Every structure is written in C-alpha cells, then in structure tokens.
Amino acid sequence: MVKFLSLLTLLLFCMIGQGFAQETSVPKKNSLDEFNRARELAFAGNREEARSICYEILNQNPKFYDARILIGRTYGWDKNFQPGRVELQLVLDEDFDNSDAIFAMIDIEKWAGDPNKAIFYCEYGLSLFPNEEAFLVQKVKLLQDVGEESKSLLVLDELLELNPGSEEGLALLKKYRSSKMVYKAIYQHDYEYFKEPYNRKWHLSSFQLARRNSWGTVIGKINLGDLISDGESFWSRGVAKQFEIDAYPRVTKMSYAYLNYGYSPDNLFPKHRAGAELYHKLPEEFGVSAGMRFLQFNSDAGNKNIFIYTASLEKYYRKYWFSFRTYLTPENGNVSQVYWLETRRYLRDSKNYIGLELATGVSPDEPRGNFSSPDVYKYKSRKLRLSYQDRLGIDRLLYLLKFGYEREEYQVNEKRKAFSFSVKLSYQF
C-alpha cells in the first residue's frame, strides 16, 4: 500500500511538472520587436493600434519606458495633450533623467501652444545635461518664438561656445541677424509690348522701401509709368507718377490685413486707388481672404469710380503653393469676372522657386491693372506667365523674373497678342 501511494505521488508530481513545462514553453512576444512594430504603425497613422501594442508591452515589462514615451507622443500627434502629459510624467516620476521623455514633453508643450512650459522643460533638461546641444537648440528657438531675443542670444552664445561648428546653432545665429534687418529696398520694372491697333510699349518702374515693425510691415512706393508710341525710342514726353503706401498689420495670431492707398496727379494712372483685404490662416495649411479694391480714373468726361471685390483660397502642400483668386467688378447690371490661378514649386527653400500663373481678365493688383484705363476691366483675355526667383550672390539680395504671353481683347470682339517681361530686385538691410 505504501509503495502504491509512493508511486501515485511520484506520478502526480511528474504530471504537474509536465504541465508547468508545457506552460512555460509557450513563447512570449519579443518586446523590442513589438515596439518596432508599434512605431511603424504610429508613423503610418495607425496610432490607436500602436498604443494598444505599447500597453501590452508595458503589461509584460513596466520598465520599457520607450513604449510609454511613444504613447505620449502619439497622444500629442492627435492633439490630445493632457493624456500625453500624464504618460510622460509617469516616465519622469520613475526615471527622472530620461532625456527622451524630456524631449517629448517639450514637444507636447510646443504643440499645445504653451512655449513657456516648453522652456521650463528645456531648463529641466539642461539642469541634468548641461552640455546637451539639442536642449540648447530647443531653448533658443522657443525664446525667439516668445520674443525674448536678448535671452535667446545668450543661450545661442552658450551653444556656439560649446560647439562653434554647430550647424543648427549657426543657422539660428543667421536667423537672429536676419531678424535685425528690418528694411528692404525694392526695384521692379514691368514691360509690355503689343502691335494692334498700333505699336505700343508699356513701361512701369517702381521704387519701394519696406519696413518690418512689431505690428506688421509698411511699404512706401513711387511708381513711374510711360507709354511709348511709334517714333519714341526709350521714353516719351509724358512720364506719369504715382505715390502709394501699403500696410500689412497683424490682426490676430492667425490673421492679418492688407491696406493700400495711392494717388497720382497724371492721367496714365488712376487718380486715387485704395484696397483693403483680410487674410486668415486655416488648419491643414489652408488660407482664405476677402476684400475690395477701389480705383478712380480722371478723364475729360469726369471721374469714373471702379469697385472690385476679391476673394482667394490658398494651400501649401509639401513643396508646393497653390492660390486661386477671383475679382468681381459690377457695372451697369453686369459683373466682370476675373479668375487667377497661381502655383509655385519651392526648390532649395522659400526664397527659391519656379512659378506658373494662368488667368482670365485683368487684375487691379498687377501692373497692367494699375496702369491703364477703366475700360480694361470690361474686356476678356487669356494669359500665361512663368516666374523664377532666387538669390543673387548673397542671401539678402533676391531677383524675380517673369515672362508672360496674353491674348487680350482691346475692343469688343477685337483681340491682340501681348508679351510681357518683369524683373524685380530686393535687398534686405
């Protein structure tokens, strides 16, 4: 009996041991492989699934902080900032000098629109890692964003003293110096040539000075216009003058206005011109605007007033910018309609691009619309224009070239070809 019980007990232990062996032989998922899969899902836009995988990893390994940091960042990408803060703070509570968690917290506060809180975490990171360039770079950018230029310069000096060859530091120094150059001198010359019903050459030279202020930008202009007839070589006997001022005041963080007034004592230009428009930035890099233009032409028959209403929609997409604008001119029960499509493809940066313009009709914002008669807005036309902008040797000097072809109506049902060329030079100082 004793032998039987001993054998039974031994058999029972063997069965239990085999059961444990089978249970432990079930392979567990590799946390690192699962985390890499979660990252791929997060970057592909499947952030909810990525968070689920990260929580599974944390159930198995609560100290796998990279998983919790990824959870916090994905909440930030979804603009769900408070849960992101909570997750990152859990990491810092257990691992106070986790630099990845500190960087993530800086990004969360930036995205949430609280730069001062982001600066706090930069300083927290620097208290632990005084020579960490990435924290210094972040702090300089944030101080510049909140207008603390003197403080940002001190931190920038610290960064460049630590690493004189820092590419980001040198780029920030260049940006700082550029911000101190508030003036811009501009010269622009526009030329247009046509043959019907007679040979004419339009010339418009514009001398401009712009100043950037804390509230926005203001531009003063002196325009000289000339219509050269047959027998006149480079200029006529009646060069016309126009004086203009433009302003672009900021209205809110997401909107600004355009205001314009111009006066000319000569008949080649409108006697008075004025404009007002409100621009507003939308999410997803869209923008909209709406406004009006006013032109008063003086003639022997008296003054003629033209009111033009305009609206636009624009969109940035990667390295492209698209803009669609319309001008509507009501007169005598009819509405003249102008449509303007413009696109740019940026090359090295925002100062270097190629552009294409397609339009119907005449715009009051182009030289021809400012340098003509009130009847030009009645006529139909089709135009194509190519443009190219780049630096001329140095960053502060830019040039812009435009070439255009137009099939325009100069009288009812009478059309002609017109060719145009424009060059613009701008120097910042």
> Domains in the chain and their CATH numbers?
31-177 (1.25.40.10), 183-428 (2.40.160.40)
CA–CA separation, 53 vs 23, rounded Å? 23
Task: Give the total residue count for the chain.
Answer: 429
CA–CA separation, 427 vs 429, rounded Å? 7
Regions of the chain with pLDDT less than 50: 1-5, 7-27
For 64, the enclosing helix (H) or strand (E) is none
pLDDT at 308: 94
CA–CA separation, 360 vs 318, rounded Å? 27
- Give the angle 168-169-171 at the CA atoms, nearest 5°: 65
Q: What is the pTM of this model?
A: 0.67
User: Could you tell me the two tokens for 374?
Assistant: 């009130």
Q: What's at 126, amino acid-wise? A: L
User: Could you tell me the two tokens for 211?
Assistant: 């100043």
CA–CA separation, 106 vs 103, rounded Å? 5
pLDDT at 262: 96
Sign of the alpha-carbon dihedral angle for 49, 51, 55, 56: positive
pLDDT at 29: 64
79 sits in the region (left: phi over 0; alpha: psi -120 to 50; else beta) called left
Exposure string for 324-356, b = 16+ CB within 10 A, e = fewer: ebbbebeeeeeebebebebbbebeeeeeebebe
pLDDT at 176: 82
CA–CA separation, 402 vs 390, rounded Å? 12
- The gap from C-alpha 318 to its chain's centroid, in whole angstroms, comes to 10
Which residues, at least 6 apart from 160, have a Cβ–Cβ distance to it below 8 Å?
166, 169, 170, 173
pLDDT at 12: 45
φ, ψ of residue 96 to 5 degrees: the values are: -65, -25
**CA atoms in the 13 A half-sphere facing the CB of 227:** 14
